[in-house]
Structure 1
Amino acid sequence: MTSNLIGRITKIIDPGDALGEVLFGLIMALTWTVGSRLVFAKEGLDVHDLIVATIGCNVAWGIIDAVLFYLGATFYKSRRLRLFRQIKAARTESAALKLLAKEFPIEEAPFSAKGADGDALYRSLLTLACRADPVKASLPKGDLFAAIAVFALVSATSIPAVIPFLLIDSAHLALRISNLFLILLLFVTGYAWAKFSGGRPFYAGMTMTCLGLLLVAIAIALGG
């Protein structure tokens, strides 16, 4: 069931983007729960306020992230249309090839390509662009579904943070378990990231955990 859910999500949104949103949501939730632990010893802990604040913060940022994702998709498609028009308007083949090389630099790709192969690639793209006709840059339903997925992923990461408070009477114990659960999920996120990218899962999990905790510490120190 879990594999089917992950498969559906990765069909809607890029796995890297999905895991990035999960990481962001976990950091947001941890910022609230760890920050509340620091306040706990001084002023006591209002469990109801913590639950509302954690869920509310992640839902709010889920909405913001979804809107920004949708705007980013719009910008990306408009930029591609602008590039297409620039290629059509280029006075020489050399100028058009330079536009393509600037937009799609193979030097940044994780492989070593020969100069002749790169030139052949850009000439193929140029041929395709010259034969094609411009169309209106519209956003398909897939982009809308992806934005909804972004909102759901960021919002859902608040659920593991609040479940211990709903099941355990001791606020102090629930807070400890909530923090440990979120830290474990940081590791799982890094582990899954390596699975998709071909890295070393355990190393990636530990790196993601340390990085997430560092970002949480920075956010708390800066008043976040």
Structure 2
Amino acid sequence: MKSSPFSSLSNIIDPGDALGEVLFGLIMALTWTVGSRLILEQEGLNVRELVIATIGCNVAWGIIDAVLFVLGTTFYKSRRLRLFRQIKAAKSEASALTLLEKEFPIEEVPFAAKAADRDALYRSLLALAGRADPVKVSLSKADLGAAIAIFLLVSATSLPAVAPFLFIANAELALRVSNLFLILLLFVTGYAWASFSGGRPLRAGVTMICLGLLLVSIAIALGG
């Protein structure tokens, strides 16, 4: 059985993170196109400038998001190495267990663990840390692949925003179609999010539209 694009993408980047990047890109593109409607009503619209600005904005933020992902991943790995060294240097088993409980709190996960099971988990982690050796913090091919995926996801969301202007001569009609495409993709993003997380897809899709439009309104109102 051939794997779908979504399953292939989930092997590179967490589905929740991927959908979050798509949502971010859609909001950026929608902010440009909705804001352009105000310009169209006041002084006319320069389609070429809008297309270049929309693509340029999303590409720029795709680069920024990818770099931030690399920095965040490096920080995360360095923090784990620091924890490992703290456990090794702990003066007592109780101190080491406290470090693990603070770093990996299971009270936040959606299940109630018994005290004995929780204690067994942390003691197992402590035993593993005691037998393991530190490794050099470095970015893996998977990390770089995820960064590239983030860049492509944010950048690609500009395409449905600018595509109508390439095929429709009437700028106002193209702008309406562009906005419709982006709003539809907000729904699809919410639907997919709920499908992955076990929520209600239709409700999530509508909620994502409302949330996206609210964020776009805030961005425009604040001059974004």
1:1-224 map, 5 Å: 4-224=4-224
Alpha-carbon distance in 1 for matches of 2:104, 2:222: 38
Q: CA deviation at 1:3?
A: 6.2
Consecutive unaligned residues in structure 1, runs of 5 or more: none
Shift, 1:119, TM fit = 0.8
Cα drift, residue 4 of structure 1 = 2.2
TM-score (norm 2): 0.98
Q: Distance in 2 between matches of 1:149 and 1:8?
A: 11
CA distance in 1 between partners of 2:206 and 2:102 (Å): 36
The separation in 1 between residues aligned to 2:43 and 2:136, in whole angstroms, is 58
TM-score normalised according to structure 1 size? 0.98
Q: Distance in 2 between matches of 1:124 and 1:63?
A: 40
Distance in 2 between the 1:135 and 1:169 partners? Answer: 58
Structure 2: how far apart are the matches of 1:4 and 1:159?
21
Deviations 1:63-116 (A, max 9, x none): 000000011110111100000000000000000000000000011101111111
Number of aligned positions between the proteins: 223
Q: Distance in 1 between matches of 2:166 and 2:153?
A: 21
Matching residue's letter, 1:175: L
Give me the identity figure in percent. Answer: 77
CA distance in structure 2 between the partners assigned to 1:151 and 1:209 by the alignment: 23
Structure-2 separation of matches of 1:166 and 1:218: 28
- Give 2:87's aligned amino acid: I
Amino acid at match of 1:16: G
